[in-house]
Amino acid sequence: MTESDSIFGAELDRLKRLLTVGEEEPDDGPAEPTPRTASLHILTERPGGQIGRYKLLNILGEGGMGIVYLAEQEKPIRRQVALKVIKPGMDSARVIARFEAERQALALLDHPNIAQIHDAGTTEAGRPYFVMEYVKGLTITEHCDHHKLTIEDRLNLFRQVCLAVHHAHQKGIIHRDIKPSNILVSTQDDQADPKIIDFGVAKALAQPLTERTLATEDSQLLGTPEYMSPEQADMASVDIDTRSDIYSLGVLLYALLTGVLPFDSTTFREGGIEHIRQVIRETDPKTPSTRLSSLGEEAKKVAQSRRIEVAALAKCLHKELEWIPLKAMRKERSERYRSASELADDIENYLKGVPLIAGPPSTVYRLKKFVRRNRALVTGIVAVLAVLLGGVVVSTLFAIGQARARAETQLIADFLEKDVLGMASRAKIGEATVSYLLDAASKRLDEGTFEDRPLIEASIRETLAWTYRHIGEPNQAEQYFLRAIEIYQQHHGEEHPDTLRATNDIGWVYEDQGRYHDMERLWTKNFHIRQRVSGVESQLGTMNCLAVTFYYLGRYKEAESLFEKALQLIRSELRGEDVWLRPWFGCNLARVYTAQGRYEEAEQLFVETFKTAEWPEEHISAKFMYTSFLADTYREQGRYADAERLFDQAVEALRLLRGTKHVRTLRSTLGLDRLYIEQGRFSQAEDLLGDALETAQAQLRKEHPITLSFMNSLAVLRTKQKQYDEAERFFDEALKGRQRELGDDHPDTLESKNDLAVLYKEQARYDEAEPLLLEAVEGRRLKLGDTHPHTQESVKTLNEVYKAWGKPEEAEKWRSTLPQRDDAEERN
Amino acid sequence: MKFRDQTDMGGTRGGFLTTHWSLIEDVKAGSDKNGALIGLLLHTYWKPVYCYLRHKGRDNEQAKDLTQDFFHEVVLNRHLVGRADKDKGQFRSFLLYALNQYLINRDRDQRAQKRIPRERLASLDIAELPDLPLSFAQATAEDSYHYAWLSALLERVTAEVKTACQEQGMENHWALFHERVLQPILGNSDPASLTQLCENLGIGDTKKASNMIVTVKRRFRSVLMELVRNTVVSEGQAREELEYLLQFLPENAQRPE
């Protein structure tokens, strides 16, 4: 018997004949008359039978329309082959067309990594079949895991696949269903040999007839969702090209590297096809390193099957390798690799250690995405730039009257379009980076384009300054602000709103530069001028500035009272137009609570603020920055799982939005390293800190408070690792830096003193630990209060030092100031 | 099309001895085991529903999802079941009616989706999608539904008869029936020569072979009637149902000579 008695697809009259089978069957007597023609071939098309000159051995696989047999050929050579034949009843015109397409596609291909077609024909029953190379092996992912292939071996294997796909592309054939089960790897003498086997949905570029058959008659979604490109998922699009395969290759590479798919299959498929399509079209996959870190225990297995430690794998992914699959998987086809061979080249680049074609997702990429999502709003290059440069131009201009604003907007738009973009060739626009545009703009400005319109120049310089700050170039930003302020002062005088605004805004650059004392000087002065010039009304922004400054200076009580006042002002409906600032005030105040050890209040305020906050698109990175501060609050409470989840979210988002080197990204990772250290995850802490410190030193400056914080954390890590000499050296640097930069009684400085004392304690250098701890305790009592967990921590350490030192009376004296013994222990 | 004898949910054939109406009554009475029922219904009737949805313009994935959701809805939403008019007697009509109700409600109220458990109780593993004949390219969705209903029914009959033959050591019976009746009717091949078949199968004479074929034909008939009966309330309605299936799409109907 054939294995299948398919009813579906049979014409209706035939079904009706079946319905009447046996209807009027006489009790005995013969069946229907015996027809003359006779054939037995249907019986022979099964294992043990024969098709053409091939002996069918068993069934290898069965798809919707065909069956693949393992068959044996005897002449001219004896070999095993795979024979694919259309199933009985499946030989509709559509199926035959598709089947024929696959056969033709395969026949065009001649590549060692593509299963070769040997023969084709029709069965006696008239159904087409073809015979191809029989590949005995595992799917590529199984093969890699089974043999525990290293990342390098995997890449080499993958590269061969890319080249094979490229070969097909050169012959004008798109595979359209690249996935592990279609790539088998056979091994001979330890030599792994990948082969692409299934061209079942392949599309021949130059065969319009076939194309029509596939694209229009068949409205099924072809391909496998997890590996499907956005344009494939978008069924409206018949415009599938070779870059679809590049996308699928990207997914495959992702899976080979991380052991998981870019989108978690269960959640991915949960919401049905529309959801799948939406995810494929709109959601950026998590980076492989992030995905890996979210795997938990599973990550260990993944790493083991790659003969590598989890941390090392994460690092190698994070450091460049993951850019490759991410570039291959870009939503916008033009941003993917241009060909499969380019992808193969980049794999080779990585293996050789030379710079990659792929880069980290840039700000431009993110902005383009924004533009794409808001295409209706954003038309034309000028508008793109308006978005690029933030809402600043617009909001600036609103302040100076509608008519003039329009005129000036036009001027600025013209400038950007003609002078800036005009300098880039049309072709280059797509690749222009923000900094390229900024540099072009700056150059034109310096050439005196606006000599006769200095105020417009100032306004553009302000915009550029903000943009430089946005992309993490505070020093450039400072220069632009300074020049803008200068122009305003010259033409408007000190107290003009434009001058005040620009002077005020430069303070945010100082924040990025870690110049907290300069912030204080600047904003205090501004505060007084504004008070004199315009009364209380416009103080809300300045209050925020000052309060933020107090926070950075460790003057938490002052910060708290200012933020609270500001929040009150906002809540009173008088301040309607400033309502959008509310999330900033809320989160900043919560941050102050955290600093004061009031974690529950902080959490409550964070959560409440997040719930009601609406972050404008251009300020979305603020949301993630504050998310990381909430995460840090959780860390302080020892709620590590909650903390890590939020940290991952925040840091990942900021990396994408602002890049790894941006001060905001660095600031947000500050608590994450501590989280790792506190949990004893030293190798992760090591990786994170190594990168962060290096970046901070290069990107910010050596004595930037953020740099010093990383330095301090590294010292703590070394203490825990018992690498005391190095720890001491780092502490020395951190402590001295903090003393110079922030002052001797700043909470950060006190932290360094405390932590250094812990190091001394570990080394039994009690006489050195004691004075430091006394200073830390005293300072923290004053700054943070007696009950602050950090104060308690110092007291506890002091108590331990005395005990170990053989001074029980001193120890007892300090122990008694601890509230609850078990409380203190809990924090340890 | 390969017939799957088992469902994940354990919807064994034994469960089919009760009629679908009694299943539905169980649902009304609240005594159903949701998962098993859904699995059973889904397993048996997904194809007509799926074909209907495809002809209503849903794409493959949408249709698969909707099919699955629909069966959850039929079983879980007692209100829907409650409104089914048992007096009309055909499970086929009920299912179509319920499907239309479901689509209307769903279109009107997208929240309907929320009623369906996130983790589906029974999943639909559709590897092979049903094919419709080319003559159905222009057919209405209802026609497709009925066609698929009929095909699914016949596929089931075929599978049951085949299994029964095999279980009773009547492989030769089946082979004869298959080659002489089933395949030729389906248009897959011309009837094999009886003499040749006898020779191949080691059957003494063609007369005996003919009788063997008749035996299977009868069995085919009785299994068909049994399954049709399962979908209606009374014996009389079973005949009506069969009549209907034979008559739908008059322009296509070609009564056998």
Return phi, psi of residue A722, to 5°: 60, 30
CA distances from A700 to A489, A503, A552, A574, A662 (A): 29, 22, 16, 40, 9
3-state helix, strand, coil split of chain A in percent (to 5) is 65, 5, 30
CB contact under 8 A, B62 and A273: yes
- On chain B, the residues whose CB falls within 8 A of the CB of A31 are 180-181, 210, 213-214, 217
Residues A474 and A551 in one domain: no
Q: Which of A152-166, A552-566, B8-22, B84-98 has the lowest mean pLDDT?
A: B8-22
Task: Identify whether A163 is part of a domain.
Answer: yes
Task: Identify whether A4 is part of a domain.
Answer: no
- On chain A, the residues whose CB falls within 8 A of the CB of B151 are 7-8, 10, 15
Residues A255 and A152 in one domain: yes
> CA A611, A617, A623 angle in degrees (round to 5)?
45
Dist. CA A126–CA A261, nearest whole Å: 42
Task: Identify whether A747 is part of a domain.
Answer: yes
pLDDT at A86: 76
Q: Which of A498-502, A527-531, B158-162 has the lowest mean pLDDT?
A: A527-531
Q: Which of A334, A359, A384 is at the close of a domain?
A: A359
Residues A181 and A117 in one domain: no
Task: Identify whether A341 is part of a domain.
Answer: yes
Q: Which of A565, A591, A614 is at the close of a domain?
A: A614
Task: Identify whether A275 is part of a domain.
Answer: yes
**Residue numbers of A between 16 and 55 with CB closer than 8 Å to B:** 16-23, 25-26, 28-32, 34-35, 37-43
- Which of the pair, A634 or A468, is modelled with greater confidence? A634
Residues A200 and A340 in one domain: yes
- On chain B, the residues whose CB falls within 8 A of the CB of A23 are 221
Q: What is the mean pLDDT of residues B217-224?
A: 86
- Give all strands of the β-sheet with A50-51 in edge-to-edge order: A50-51, A54-62, A66-73, A79-86, A128-133, A117-122
pLDDT of A391 > 70? The answer is no
Of A40, A41, A273, which has the smallest distance from its Cβ to B59's Cβ? Answer: A273
pLDDT at B25: 64
Task: List the domain boundaries for chain B.
Answer: 13-135, 140-247
Length of chain A: 828
Q: Are strands A66-73 and A79-86 parallel, antiparallel or unpaired?
A: antiparallel
CB contact under 8 A, A8 and B1: yes
Return phi, psi of residue B119, to 5°: -90, 110
pLDDT at A604: 93
pLDDT band of residue A277 (cuts 50, 70, 90) is confident
pTM (2 decimals)? 0.45
Residue A99 contacts residue A86 (beta carbons within 8 Å)? yes
Q: What is the mean pLDDT of residues B97-123?
A: 64
Q: A746-791: per-residue pLDDT in tens?
A: 999 999 999 999 999 999 999 999 999 999 999 999 999 988 999 9
pLDDT at B30: 60
CB contact under 8 A, A64 and B60: no
CB contact under 8 A, A40 and B200: yes
Residue A113 contacts residue A164 (beta carbons within 8 Å)? yes
B245 touches chain A (CB under 8 A): yes
pLDDT at A240: 73
CB contact under 8 A, A10 and B187: yes
- On chain A, the residues whose CB falls within 8 A of the CB of B120 are none
Q: Burial, A323: exposed, middle or buried (Cβ in 10 Å; 0-12, 13-18, 19+)?
A: buried
Structural domain range at position A563: 533-614
- Which of the pair, B128 or B198, is modelled with greater confidence? B198
Q: Is residue A732 annotated as part of the catalytic site, yes or no?
A: no
Residue A118, CB half-sphere, CA atoms under 13 Å: how many?
A: 18
Of B175, B185, B195, which has the smallest distance from its Cβ to A14's Cβ? Answer: B185
Q: A549-566: per-residue pLDDT in tens?
A: 999 999 999 999 988 888
- On chain B, the residues whose CB falls within 8 A of the CB of A214 are none
Residue with tokens 């496998």: A224
CB contact under 8 A, A5 and B191: no
A219 touches chain B (CB under 8 A): yes
Contacts 24+ apart (CB under 8 A), A282-285: A282/A331, A282/A373, A284/A331, A284/A361, A284/A369, A284/A656, A285/A254, A285/A326, A285/A329
pLDDT of B15 > 70? The answer is no
- Which of the pair, B212 or A531, is modelled with greater confidence? B212
Q: In CATH, what number is assigned to the domain containing residue A722? A: 1.25.40.10
Highest mean pLDDT among A58-62, A367-371, B121-125: A58-62
Q: A709-755: per-residue pLDDT in tens?
A: 999 999 999 999 999 999 999 999 999 999 999 999 999 999 999 99
pLDDT at A430: 36
Q: B121-157: per-residue pLDDT in tens?
A: 556 655 566 777 766 666 777 887 888 888 888 888 8
Residues A194 and A275 in one domain: yes
Of A18, A29, A89, which has the smallest distance from its Cβ to B154's Cβ? Answer: A18
Residues A121 and A147 in one domain: no
B164 touches chain A (CB under 8 A): no
When scoring B155, B183, B248, B254 by the number of chain A Cβ atoms within 10 A, the one with the most, hence best to mutate, is B183
pLDDT band of residue B67 (cuts 50, 70, 90) is confident
Task: Identify whether A633 is part of a domain.
Answer: no
pLDDT at A757: 95
Task: Identify whether A219 is part of a domain.
Answer: yes
pLDDT at A78: 83
pLDDT at B36: 65
Amino acid at A752: S
Residues A261 and A154 in one domain: yes
Q: What is the mean pLDDT of residues A632-638?
A: 94
B79 touches chain A (CB under 8 A): no
Residue A300 contacts residue A333 (beta carbons within 8 Å)? no
pLDDT band of residue A441 (cuts 50, 70, 90) is low
Look up residue B9 and give its two tokens.
């949910």
- Which of the pair, A642 or B231, is modelled with greater confidence? A642
Q: What is the mean pLDDT of residues A355-366?
A: 56
Q: Which of A400-414, A502-516, B5-19, B224-238 has the lowest mean pLDDT?
A: B5-19
- On chain A, the residues whose CB falls within 8 A of the CB of B154 are 7, 15, 18-19
Would the ipTM clear 0.85, i.e. be above it? no
- A188 SS3 class: strand
pLDDT at B170: 86
Dist. CA B166–CA B159, nearest whole Å: 11
CB contact under 8 A, A270 and B118: yes
pLDDT at A454: 79
Dist. CA A720–CA A725, nearest whole Å: 12
Of A16, A38, A93, which has the smallest distance from its Cβ to B254's Cβ? Answer: A16
Task: Identify whether A194 is part of a domain.
Answer: yes
pLDDT at A377: 30
Q: Which of A153-162, A164-173, A399-408 has the lowest mean pLDDT?
A: A399-408
Q: Which of A78, A103, A133 is at the close of a domain?
A: A133
Q: Which of A27, A91, A145, A177 is catalytic?
A: A177
Q: B30-46: per-residue pLDDT in tens?
A: 655 556 666 767 777 88
- Which of the pair, B96 or A419, is modelled with greater confidence? B96
Residues A189 and A317 in one domain: yes
B103 touches chain A (CB under 8 A): no
Q: A295-315: per-residue pLDDT in tens?
A: 878 888 888 889 888 888 888
How many independent structural domains does chain A possess? 5
pLDDT at B127: 57
Residues A350 and A410 in one domain: no
